[in-house]
Amino acid sequence: MEVENSHIEGNNNNNNNFNNNNNNMVKDVSLQQLKVTLSEFARVRGWEQYHSPRNLLLALVGEVGELSEIFQWRGEVAKGLPNWSPRDKEHLEEELSDVLLYLVQLADVCGLDLGQAALAKIVKNARKYPVINLSD
């Protein structure tokens, strides 16, 4: 898994929420990075033959099921997960990740750019739900 920050030059982007790589720790993970990593992960294991769109979609549904199981008997859960054990939080992180990893791979085998699609959808949503400024 490679995390290339190599193009970074200079320090003038420190007030940018989206770019946390000066020359420090990796803090940010991109969809492109995950796509490339997962594609290689599957290739070296000979798994590409199983990664048809509908196979990956059903695998995604399976992981959404595992994610739901974590929440199923808890009643309403508060933001920040107060009173959850570190073990439960770690389990949740793993299931959230599994959903993400299959989603990234599904988009990839469909030949779609998930990151750009997500930005475009946010723009579309912003037009659909304009902000109403009550103080105007």
The one among 7, 85, 128, 136 contacting a second copy by CB under 8 A: 7
Whole-number Å distance between alpha carbons of 77 and 102: 25
**Residue 122 interacts with a second copy (CB under 8 A): yes or no:** yes
Show the tokens assigned to 24: 């420090």
Q: What is the CA radius of gyration of the chain?
A: 19
Q: Total residues contacting a second copy (rule CB under 8 A)?
A: 99
Give the x/- contact pattern for a second copy in 38-67, rule: CB under 8 A: x--x--xx----xxxxxx-xxxxxxxxxxx
Site for a second copy in 57-116 (CB under 8 A): 57-69, 71-81, 89, 92-94, 96-101, 103, 106-107, 109-112, 114-116
Show the tokens assigned to 128: 């659909």
Min. distance of Cβ 50 from a second copy in angstroms?
A: 5
Please name which of 104, 80, 79 lies closest in space to residue 29, comparing C-alpha atoms: 104
CA atoms within 13 A on the CB side of 75: 0
